Structure 1
Amino acid sequence: MQPAEYVVTGRALLGKELTEEDVCITITGGIIRSIEPCSGTPDRWIVPAFFNAHTHLGDTVAMDLPARGSLAELIKPPGGLKHRILAATPDAELVRGMRSSIMTMIATGTAGFADFREGGAAGVAALREAAAGLDCRPVILGREGGEQVSDGAGISSVHDVANAEEVVREARAAGGLVAFHAGEKNPDDIDEALAFEPDLLVHCTHATDAHLRQIADMDIPIVVCPRSNWLLGVTASPAHPPIARILELGGRFFLGTDNVMFVQPNMLQEMAFAATVYRAPPVEILRAAIAGAALTGRSGFLEEGQEASILMIDPKRHNLSFTRDIRATIVKRLDSSSIEQNVLNIR
């Protein structure tokens, strides 16, 4: 339990621009009440916590399973390898696996995540059980009948779901979000996904410029999952996913880690990979690792009036204090050993 009023001081990254400033931040009842300039503050960095905008946490029970095959053979519903494993795993083991992955996310600075949850209503209930009492806020996007008892619909490629129109209609009627996998291995399903005017697109690894312009015009965020794309063999080029073009065309992107079966749900690793392979400006990568919090109805950034979820980083623990660019150093070099304290989802 955090105290009713909480004050932190240090060099903070403020607002959506992630501007550096030495400040005192007063948090009252979980809300940032004031951000005031401070001089002589401790040598501490105050950073917005991360939001993992695309996960499949159920896959934890199949982590690093030696597996070969096409994308369809591995993860396509309903008969892909992962779906067979999930169906054969006892509920208690699924819950234990998902909870362990949530704890891994917390330890690496993540305050929330958006999960495509298999298994219908029972699968949604299992993830809620796994997340109970932990300071990591889930957005659960159900499947196979779980759409109406969750935060919305997490739809595989429109080509994989025969009743996609019905699923979207029912999710909307329940007030939920609609998210689609699209453009992961080729662009052929993007137009059909866009016809549903979704709230979120995942992957768009092979989206064309025409698609990206339309997505930007519709103000739909794209969740990119670079490490997963490379490991699953749907890209071997920094042009895919087209992060540079998304930015050039005025679009929005979030970062996600995708299947725990293949990739650890660690946003620090995801940021470092994206910076190395895609060479996007570090501030854009860092912003993408935070901005997915919009799916919960909050900004995720350090702004007065916003809910507070922050990381306090001690740059003296290792060599981070020698940085000439805090944002670049967080993106490329930060690991959990330098996180002094997580102050997540204060209530």
Structure 2
Amino acid sequence: MPEQVYQGTVLVGEYLEAVTGTVVVEGGIVTAIEEGPVPTGHWIAPAFFNAHTHLGDTVAMDCATCGDLSDLVKPPHGLKHRILRATPRDRLVAGMQASLDAMAATGTAGFADFREGGPEGVLALREALEGSPLHSLILGRDGGEGPGDGVGISSVRDVADAEEQVTRARAAGKAVAFHAGEKNPDDIDGALAYDPDLLVHCTHATDRHLRAIADAGIPIAVCIRSNWVLGVTRGADHPPVKKMLEAGCTPLLGTDNVMFVQPDILREMAFVETVTRLPPAEVLRAAVRGAGLAGRTYFIEEGEKANFIVIDALRSNLRFSSDPVASIVRRADRGDLLETVINP
């Protein structure tokens, strides 16, 4: 592969230091970040990792945007599960492919998905991924941890054989993830008892829970737009993202069910920053560092794989911005993206 050169304002490393210069990529690796005068109409920023999706729900898009959480998504008889069972495989695969394309077009290079439907559900997502450059962590259910990369459990309250599923995943050296604390805090301790690799939501986690999660080093995928749509929060304290950071937790951004929310991290960041008032750099880091779930880093550093976005600030009023990080979080949209660079 020939050398590739990208020039502009580069957000370097985890601290997102804005450097005017050139990024050199050879064989998919960032081989040099050379500071110096170049045209600065482009911004080069880390690609995003969507830390929690349910891509199968694409086929149930907008069929219900309100109602009781359990009636909508609780396995095995929630509305989404009834729709998934009734959907032909080819339509399910096509829907997931469409959402994969939508993620790539909005700067996402990878994702972690809770995949319903057992082994066949996981294989359907793998089929959808054929030809896609996106990195994935597929967390199966009901035996789907076999062909998947691990197990994604709805809640310790919803699944009678959680211990058995976790045991199978651990024996195979695979990841374990739980939904916890979405509607109330009552299932968080139960999830923590399994020492999971990922917790999703923690919308109603207490200070005690956050200390335990931080001590265990478990990242938390927060899905704030989904929480608002589903009515499990109406304020900045749930999920308690500021407290998560103060306690030493690692929040990641996810978009949750495509049934309710478009899998667009740009939209997610803008909403999160508005609701939480977190510094934009914290929001952007949360949108990027989920790549660690897939054993990767998307932060732009020499020697790392090149997984970044190129924004053409000259296309819009972004050309008047003096703070690329803030503008990417608050203002950038699909039309500003020139390219999403993804390497295996």
2:22 is aligned to 24
CA contact (8 A) 2:65 2:229 kept: no
Q: Secondary structure at the match of 1:273?
A: helix
Please say which of residues 133-142 and 59-68 is displaced more in the overlay: 59-68
Match of 2:198 among 197, 200, 203: 200
Against the structure 1 CA distance between its residues 42 and 68, is the aligned structure 2 distance closer, same or farther, given a 3 Å change threshold? closer
Match of 1:309 among 287, 307, 310: 307
2:276 is aligned to 278
Q: Which runs of 5+ in 2 are unaligned?
A: none
Match of 1:238 among 236, 239, 243: 236
Q: Secondary structure at the match of 1:55?
A: strand
Q: Secondary structure at the match of 1:159?
A: coil
Normalised by the length of structure 1, the TM-score is: 0.97
- Cα deviation for residue 344 of structure 1 reads 1.6
Q: CA RMSD in A?
A: 1.1
Please say which of residues 91-100 and 159-168 is displaced more in the overlay: 159-168
Match of 2:328 among 323, 327, 330: 330
Q: Does 1:290 align with 2:293?
A: no
CA distance in 2, matches of 1:287, 1:131: 26
Structure 1 segments of 4 or more deviating over 4 A? Answer: none
1:219 is aligned to 217
Q: Which runs of 5+ in 1 are unaligned?
A: none
Which amino acid is the alignment partner of residue 102 of structure 1?
L
Task: String of CA shifts for 1:290-345, please: whole Å, max 9, x gaps.
Answer: 01000111111101121111111111111102112111100000001111112122
2:254 is aligned to 256
Please say which of residues 278-287 and 33-42 is displaced more in the overlay: 33-42
Q: Secondary structure at the match of 2:314?
A: coil
1:155 is aligned to 153
**Where do residues 171-182 of structure 1 align in structure 2 (5 Å cutoff)?**
171-182=169-180
CA distance in 2, matches of 1:172, 1:127: 22
CA contact (8 A) 1:10 1:24 kept: yes
Match of 1:183 among 175, 181, 184: 181
Match of 1:136 among 134, 137, 154: 134
- Cα deviation for residue 81 of structure 1 reads 0.5
CA distance in 1, matches of 2:36, 2:166: 49
CA distance in 1, matches of 2:171, 2:302: 33
CA distance in 1, matches of 2:70, 2:35: 53
CA distance in 2, matches of 1:99, 1:31: 27
CA distance in 2, matches of 1:64, 1:129: 24
Against the structure 1 CA distance between its residues 67 and 42, is the aligned structure 2 distance closer, same or farther, given a 3 Å change threshold? closer
CA distance in 1, matches of 2:155, 2:95: 26
- Cα deviation for residue 145 of structure 1 reads 0.6
- Cα deviation for residue 40 of structure 1 reads 2.6
Matched length: 344
Task: String of CA shifts for 1:150-205, please: whole Å, max 9, x gaps.
Answer: 11011111111111111111111111111100000000000111111110000000
Q: Secondary structure at the match of 2:152?
A: strand
Q: Secondary structure at the match of 1:158?
A: coil
CA distance in 2, matches of 1:22, 1:324: 13
Task: String of CA shifts for 1:272-291, please: whole Å, max 9, x gaps.
Answer: 00011111110000000001
Match of 2:319 among 308, 316, 321: 321
CA distance in 2, matches of 1:227, 1:318: 26
Q: Secondary structure at the match of 1:147?
A: coil
**Where do residues 35-114 of structure 1 align in structure 2 (5 Å cutoff)?**
35-66=33-64, 68-114=66-112
1:14 is aligned to 12
Which amino acid is the alignment partner of residue 154 of structure 1?
G
Q: Secondary structure at the match of 2:271?
A: helix
Which amino acid is the alignment partner of residue 227 of structure 2?
N
CA distance in 2, matches of 1:30, 1:173: 34
